[in-house]
Structure 1
């Protein structure tokens, strides 16, 4: 039997605990305004090759998805996701709880294909009563996907171009982003993700 444990099943690395202990008694303002958060934000901007990027710190993947999706969508809009997407299956209705519907499209190896998203958008706007329906206001993807598959650079570029043509944001769930970027056969870099998406997050586990 093979058991695949997730990255929430173990404790913190000893070096992280050492760093926390060393700075534990140092007073600092809250809400991300301390020198440690400022330093990390600067490093993230440098790694993304974008000195103008906004960097925010949140507490977990579900919370981040709920905050970002709610912030980027208007009240009458929903979010397009693969039918295996985390927000459609495993987040206990967190997105719907913010008042936004998850609009599912069939997955292909766990991923969204630009052609399928294009077909969804064309079908939506071809409906004479579309003004009475939930508007597709953004596209959600995860890298790696919930099935462990990776987007190629060409796939990301195609999705990005599609979203920009339709003027809707492309949002990337990066709960396991480090795995994706470290995969030996990937051709996607962090700078590619920063360039091709409108928002993404980097999981800290």
Structure 2
């Protein structure tokens, strides 16, 4: 089977594995106090052009979202998110389990805008209700779309005006940064958000996310104690440090996203050439073709994909995801099969 199911099917980038093996027998202190973690953090600060921030290397995306949101909010406060947001549908109620409500906003493109957030804030003025305090977005979104710099800045300006934290989930940040439609530089995230993270798990690492806390209010409450209390402080913290040090050397992070996007755009162009409708106009590494169920079943004999949603009794949306490890020849094979099956079923 050829997998287009997710962007973490394989282990890790070869140079990451080589670095882990090379340093395997070194003795370092634990819990992220090692020299590799320090170097990784320094490299990331230089990359985002922000020395005045707190960076913590964590293991996974759900863990990172839970820690950031639960740490930032008081018991009566809530977080606003799109209905398609990762914290809304892919984290088994992790945020709600900490006692914080996720206020969901329906969107057509997976993105929040100032007007929709403003309306939701105004709906929660009564003291009988939870108080919105954070806005959660992701880039790319869960459906492959991306924010423009103007959209990000507008949300940032409104959040400052309304006294809200703006938190950005960057699980697939490498893909967003290198999308042909992107105009946001990596340092812009440090300018326009209160907190964000740079994804590693879906961008070529065995595991790992780099959480960046910009707003000083979020750095005042002993974040390291929160990570330890919630089981998120890895004893062998150098495993994160080594990986992120390698990933952010030179332009490697961008190279990961560039390859992922190029493979995905080949699939997108092939679908459009066969008049296959796509659920979203994605220019990142996730593509969502709308296909007859019989065609999906045929593809499933050879390829792994993610079932996304049912359209009607005969049609559904599936998701193809590409990664740093996606082989061009596998994409070309998928394209040939799409062409053949399209003639048969469309």
Q: Normalised by the shorter chain, which TM-score bucket?
A: over 0.9
What's the counterpart of residue 203 of structure 1? 199
Matched, 1:132 2:128: yes
Matched, 1:23 2:34: no
Q: Give the TM-score taking structure 2 as reference length.
A: 0.57
Shift of the alpha carbon at 1:5? 2.5
Larger Rg over CA atoms: 2
Could you tell me how far apart the structure 2 residues matched to 1:4 and 1:114 are? Answer: 34
Could you tell me how far apart the structure 2 residues matched to 1:73 and 1:124 are? Answer: 16
Matched, 1:8 2:8: yes
What's the counterpart of residue 140 of structure 2? 144
Shift of the alpha carbon at 1:10? 1.0
Could you tell me how far apart the structure 2 residues matched to 1:31 and 1:114 are? Answer: 39
Among 169, 178, 185, which residue is 1:182 paired with?
A: 178
Shift of the alpha carbon at 1:33? 0.8
80-89 or 3-12, which moves further after superposition? 3-12
What's the counterpart of residue 150 of structure 2? 154
Could you tell me how far apart the structure 2 residues matched to 1:160 and 1:108 are? Answer: 21
Q: Deviation per CA, 1:144-193, whole angstroms, max 9, x where unpaired?
A: 00000000001001100010001111000010011000112200111111
CA contact (8 A) 2:169 2:197 kept: yes
Residues 1:22 and 1:3: Cα distance change in structure 2 (over 3 Å) = closer
Query: How many pairs does the alignment contain?
Result: 200
Question: Highest relative contact order (Cα 8 Å, sep 6+), 1 or 2?
Answer: 2
What's the counterpart of residue 111 of structure 1? 111
Shift of the alpha carbon at 1:3? 6.3
Give runs of aligned pairs for residues 54-73 of structure 1, distance below 5 A: 54-73=54-73
Could you tell me how far apart the structure 2 residues matched to 1:77 and 1:10 are? Answer: 39
CA-based RMSD: 1.2
Q: Secondary structure at the match of 2:199?
A: coil
Q: Secondary structure at the match of 1:186?
A: coil
Q: Secondary structure at the match of 1:202?
A: strand
Shift of the alpha carbon at 1:53? 1.1
What's the counterpart of residue 97 of structure 1? 97
